[in-house]
Structure 1
Amino acid sequence: MTTTNDDKVSKIEIIKRQSRHLRGTIKEALQDSEAKFSEENVQVLKFHGVYQQDDRDLRAQLKREGKERHYSMMIRARIPGGLLSSEQYLVFDRLADEYTDYKTMRITTRQTLQLHGILKGDLKTTIKTLNDALVTTLGACGDSGRNTICCAEPGDEPFREEMRHDVLALADRLSAKTNAYHEIWIDGEPVQLAEDETEEPLYGEVYLPRKFKVAIVPEGDNCLDVYDNDIGLVAHIRDGHIEGYTVLVGGGMGRMALDQDTYPRLASPLCYVARNEAVGTILDACVAIVTIERDFGDRSNRRFARMKYLIDKRGLAWFRDEVEARLGHKLEPPRQLTWTNGNDHLGWHRERDGVSYLGLFVPYGRIKDTETMQLKSALRDIMHRFRPTVRFTSQQNVILSGLPDEQRSAVEEVLRSSGVPLPQELSNVQQNMMACVSLPTCGLALAESERALPELVPQFERLFDVLGLSDENITIRMTGCSNGCARPYNANIAFIGRAPGKYDIFLGGSALGTALNERFRDTVPFKDLVSAVRPVLESFIQDREPGEDFGTYWLRTGAGGHRG
């Protein structure tokens, strides 16, 4: 296992090692009167699912008044596969009303919920309340296994329960085991280990070099962009059961706009592992992969600490040899993969005989009430009256499952009376858009995203209508910076913040999530984004081959000379 040398590692590596398995001085800091935590504790808190933020809309005014920034915390839960009971969902709903500045909940691309604007003094109560509802925040952030995600579609096929079983097993095996979480947030009592026990048997003192993401999908349905993960598991189904998984490694969306040595990467096929393999399980293979990143990942420069850089530096053949050495046997070659769908599971669908599920579109992942649409109140009412199971999707939407068919009209009435449209009432443009949180809470944001993308919706709807593209599945994503939190780099059209009001435009990609896009224009003003893309879409209409989608057209033609 990797050990650290203070002369060769980043500052955060030193903070992790000195944190005493993620304790830091968080417990003591919760007792003081400060509105914020120290920088050391801020880094450790991420492992506990907490980010310290401030309201950037207020920064200038508070500075003029000689006041401190308005600090608050974002809490992110760890919800494997995005599944909650209606009772657990209602706990989040209540906490959002009682303790957050914004009275909203945010669905993330990793199938979980974030609560923004929690004051430091309310942090412990909020986390303990979630734990009382059997929801943890440990490992939702930080340099360890993040929330393990899975295709959220319900159904009565056996493979869906098998995927759920594997998601929970992976989440448990790859989660941090430190007792610090309970000592700080739950009961306050330290846990004494036996002499032969290790508090973190997988991660040791320094955990991983960077965050680590795992995703599971059935072959054919890439609803969560499986190639964007450090480990992607593609389930091969035979007779309704999972026969085994093709394992993908080395995906990741993050890059730095001004550092050309950083880049997004799609995961590479590594091997095939039978689900009930006699010489080892898929869990064993995933643990072996994680330990390679633990032992060889870059700990000196966090820009290059993700596993994708390790694989490109050492080579996939080297990586495969390392996995085989740790497993003690040869790996089977990966299987050829076929994809037919990349859309979210929106609308009404059969779940089992007499029972349906509703995939409900959540604009930009934000569950809130506005003057025209009371989505938060409608979902609360549905939880109380119909008690569905809640499944968050990786495209920031929500699935309400387990609804008897005779309740469908009543559920629709609740939504309509609250101004919430059903998916079939929305344009393809709306359904295929996604944004990161960005301003005012994200400290990395350079430009607007969640608050800006709605302004582009009607513009693109009009343009698509004029061009005859309204029935096309063209994905459009926006982020406030280049870090890639809304998975922009495999979208057909992506707007990536470079400065206030200015964006880089990337084009190409794939609606199936199987190809990266390319930079098209730099630092385009917000008001010019749609007009900048229009000539390419016009060329697409004129020059496309029969049945050709936008991403394939871009790769084939360079958009008629528009590239570059």
Structure 2
Amino acid sequence: MTTSFGAANTAIAKDLNVRVATSFNGLKHTSDSLLLSKRLHVLPSFSSSEEGSTSIIRAVSTPVKPGTSAEPKRSKVEIIKEHSNFIRYPLNEELLTDAPNINEAATQLIKFHGSYQQYNRDERGTRSYSFMLRTKNPCGKVSNKLYRVMDDLADEFGIGTLRLTTRQTFQLHGVLKKDLKTVMSTIIKNMGSTLGACGDLNRNVLAPAAPYAQKDYLFAQRTAEDIAALLTPQSGFYYDMWVDGEKILSAEPPEVVKALNDNSHGTNFPDSQEPIYGTQFLPRKFKVAVTVPTDNSVDIFTNDIGVVVVSDADGEPQGFNIYVGGGMGRTHRIETTFPRLAEPLGYVPKEDILYAVKAIVVTQRENGRRDDRKYSRMKYLLSSWGIEKFRTVVEQYYGKKFEPCHELPEWEFKSYLGWHEQGDGGLFCGLHVDNGRVKGTMKKTLREIIEKYNLNVRITPNQNIILCDIRQAWKRQITTALAQGGLLQPSYVEPLNLTAMACPAFPLCPLAITEAERGIPDILKRVRALFEKIGLKYSESIVIRVTGCPNGCARPYMAELGLVGDGPNSYQIWLGGTPNQTSLAKPFKDKVKLQDLEKVLEPVFYYWKHRRLSKESFGDFTIRTGTEKLQELVDKWEGIPQAASHYNLNLFADKETYEAIDSLAKLQDKSPHQLAMEIISNFVASHQNGKIE
């Protein structure tokens, strides 16, 4: 819909854009009118150069249904945002009270500042409130200084651990309300941020964490940083709250400032403190990832926007393929909620990427549902409209037509674990961290190495950490120190652990239905035991992800085996993701009790071993077989035929060997037998492949 206004209508429309004074519970503040988009669902756009000339509504949104002038229903969170004076009130007042917690409105607002209020759900009686802080680290980049600061804060104000997240950030658990300002200001003053790590706005922008000195990788990472800067809130509420208005971070690149301020296609709220977000921000969280062809370390199709660098034959980046509409969250027993993969939107030249991303964000801002938060993610807008309508609307905000996406090679999952050449003379070392939880001896060892060698680090989207810019001469010493701290090279880590992920869940997440992080170590051991029983090789592995609720923070719907909490000690089982994270899993069974996992998994694993095609992954096998046939096989299962049973060796001949293995196994949260089997299997495999040095 494109409508022309004459001079009279221009004056009326300009008057609608006036920022009006509003009052809420005695607090006087100003608020954008949202250009009456809540009521009219159109977005007039005017600039100083248009005065005296015909003005055009350049932005297109779905029209209000005829025959009604009633305001659309809005959720409680939308009302809180509108009256918050740009995410300040009543949080600013609640933080000054002596209570250990904050009220409901402030709890919603503090998310925009990068924090969630939590309490220990293991305890009964009076709630022990604390706050989780999440940093924002585009590309997962963490400076040496910031890492040391976060490590110190975890000990002084947290629960003594750091957690690496699936969006390349830190989570710091257990911060008390009285310490929030100290912790926040310390992070900000050391060039860190938590702004927008939670809340209804753009979250941390993912990019491959590998510090390769390659044009495409460097370009992808710089683009991720530019997109993060473009979609960062501008109204200053974060700095007002935590550092008394002092803005610590450096100025943004000129191309980002230009794209932010550009309103030639009606994307901005004129004269607003938040030109892109307005007073209402977005309907729900928004996720962006940038990568290069073949590298799907970022789970590109699970994001609202996926951006892929396209280079020419000489390796020079020329533009980007854009994919839209991915998202993991859903609600149990409500079939109208679902995980979804992003689909191709089109290709744009490299100089247009910020404008294209902004156009997509504004399309979601204007048309995403604000009445029911279950349906507020952009994936539901895509599913409702279809890609053609969505593309047409985005193009009007973008001002151009999208070109067709370029053809790309097959995707691969890349973990970047182990030692690698950076391409600039230095090395990087990727380290596996079970469930991203940095604690105990591992935490102490990492701190010592990072501090001693003055290393910068990067967090991966699979909860691991990369030590960057290592000199060749340091490799041996660092390898030895890491091993002593339980941080082994990938060939010595249980293969199932290498790709497994879990969300924190209990005891602190208020949404958790059952265990995830605390439960997955035992689940992985039980899966390995089934593999051994069935006769699957030690080197065989599948992608397992576990979440304590259906929101999907560990992206279980992309796993070959996804376990999604649906009750106390109970999981919904999803099957059919692929190792390169390009296929969506499908629900297989509901309400499987933790103690009954083997009853379901043993027959499925057995038939995978005996009926798979050559080199067929577990996920591909389950999709080819189909859930109905798999269910039939599970229902008829009577146990492994006797001839197919597989027995372990008696591994320990003396007490000293057992005690040495037991000590090392405890560092890795394993049994002595499990670790011994890993060492023997790796030794045999290396010998067979001629790799023994």
Letter in 2 for 1:165: R
Is 1:402–2:469 an aligned residue pair?
Answer: yes
Contact kept in structure 2, 1:540 and 1:559, CA below 8 Å: no
Letter in 2 for 1:81: C
Letter in 1 for 2:280: V
Deviations 1:70-126 (A, max 9, x none): 0000001111111011111000000000001x2111111110001011000000000
Mapped partners of 1:337, 1:473: distance in 2: 27
Which of 64, 73, 97 pairs up with 2:131? 73
Tell me the residue number matched to 2:595: 527
Contact kept in structure 2, 1:221 and 1:340, CA below 8 Å: yes
Tell me the residue number matched to 2:617: 549
Counterparts of 1:1-80 in structure 2, within 5 Å, are: 3-4=37-38, 8-58=73-123, 60=124, 63=125, 68-80=126-138
Counterparts of 1:496-515 in structure 2, within 5 Å, are: 496-515=564-583
* Larger RCO, structures 1/2 (Cα 8 Å, 6+ apart): 1
Mapped partners of 2:217, 2:307: distance in 1: 14
Mapped partners of 2:542, 2:155: distance in 1: 36
Mapped partners of 1:88, 1:261: distance in 2: 42
Tell me the residue number matched to 1:217: 291
Mapped partners of 2:223, 2:84: distance in 1: 31
For the aligned residue pairs, the C-alpha RMSD in angstroms reads 1.7
Q: For 2:422, what is the secondary structure of its paired residue?
A: strand
Mapped partners of 2:622, 2:349: distance in 1: 37
Tell me the residue number matched to 2:384: 313
Which of 128, 145, 150 pairs up with 2:202? 145
Mapped partners of 2:286, 2:85: distance in 1: 21
Letter in 2 for 1:94: D
Mapped partners of 1:237, 1:363: distance in 2: 35
TM-score normalised to structure 1 length: 0.94
Contact kept in structure 2, 1:49 and 1:140, CA below 8 Å: yes
Q: For 1:562, what is the secondary structure of its paired residue?
A: helix
Tell me the residue number matched to 1:288: 359
Identity %: 39
Following superposition, the deviation at residue 472 of structure 1 comes to: 3.3
Deviations 1:160-182 (A, max 9, x none): 22112111110010111121111
Letter in 2 for 1:24: Y
Aligned length, in residue pairs: 544
Mapped partners of 2:335, 2:548: distance in 1: 19
For structure 2, the residue ranges without an aligned partner over 5 or more in a row are 1-33, 40-70, 248-268, 633-693
Following superposition, the deviation at residue 26 of structure 1 comes to: 2.0
Distance 1:328 1:354, change over 3 A: closer
Show structure 1 runs of 4+ deviating over 6 A: none
Letter in 1 for 2:157: Y
Following superposition, the deviation at residue 212 of structure 1 comes to: 0.3
Is 1:255–2:334 an aligned residue pair?
Answer: no
Letter in 1 for 2:420: H
Counterparts of 1:360-379 in structure 2, within 5 Å, are: 360-369=431-440, 374-379=441-446
Distance 1:133 1:329, change over 3 A: same
Mapped partners of 2:537, 2:398: distance in 1: 50
Tell me the residue number matched to 1:419: 486
For structure 1, the residue ranges without an aligned partner over 5 or more in a row are none
Contact kept in structure 1, 2:134 and 2:198, CA below 8 Å: yes
Following superposition, the deviation at residue 464 of structure 1 comes to: 2.5
Tell me the residue number matched to 1:156: 213
Tell me the residue number matched to 2:143: 85
Q: For 1:541, what is the secondary structure of its paired residue?
A: helix
Tell me the residue number matched to 1:297: 368
Mapped partners of 1:409, 1:27: distance in 2: 51
Is 1:457–2:515 an aligned residue pair?
Answer: no
Tell me the residue number matched to 1:489: 557
Is 1:229–2:303 an aligned residue pair?
Answer: yes
Contact kept in structure 1, 2:72 and 2:371, CA below 8 Å: no
Contact kept in structure 2, 1:364 and 1:450, CA below 8 Å: yes
Mapped partners of 2:104, 2:571: distance in 1: 30
Contact kept in structure 2, 1:456 and 1:530, CA below 8 Å: no
Structure with greater Cα Rg:
2
Which of 264, 267, 278 pairs up with 2:339? 264
Is 1:205–2:270 an aligned residue pair?
Answer: no
Mapped partners of 1:484, 1:365: distance in 2: 16
Contact kept in structure 1, 2:300 and 2:306, CA below 8 Å: yes
Following superposition, the deviation at residue 7 of structure 1 comes to: 5.8
Mapped partners of 2:392, 2:359: distance in 1: 11
Mapped partners of 2:628, 2:172: distance in 1: 45
Tell me the residue number matched to 2:31: none
Tell me the residue number matched to 2:188: 131
Contact kept in structure 1, 2:236 and 2:245, CA below 8 Å: no
Contact kept in structure 2, 1:77 and 1:140, CA below 8 Å: yes
Mapped partners of 2:246, 2:209: distance in 1: 37
Contact kept in structure 2, 1:82 and 1:152, CA below 8 Å: yes
Contact kept in structure 1, 2:221 and 2:290, CA below 8 Å: no
Is 1:383–2:450 an aligned residue pair?
Answer: yes
Q: Identify which range, 495-504 or 240-249, moves more after superposition.
A: 240-249
Contact kept in structure 1, 2:283 and 2:373, CA below 8 Å: yes
Mapped partners of 2:245, 2:91: distance in 1: 12
Following superposition, the deviation at residue 196 of structure 1 comes to: 7.7
Letter in 2 for 1:381: E
Deviations 1:288-315 (A, max 9, x none): 0000000000000000000000011111
Distance 1:340 1:322, change over 3 A: closer
Following superposition, the deviation at residue 234 of structure 1 comes to: 1.4
Tell me the residue number matched to 1:187: 244
Following superposition, the deviation at residue 144 of structure 1 comes to: 0.5
Letter in 2 for 1:52: Q
Mapped partners of 1:152, 1:563: distance in 2: 39
Q: For 1:357, what is the secondary structure of its paired residue?
A: strand
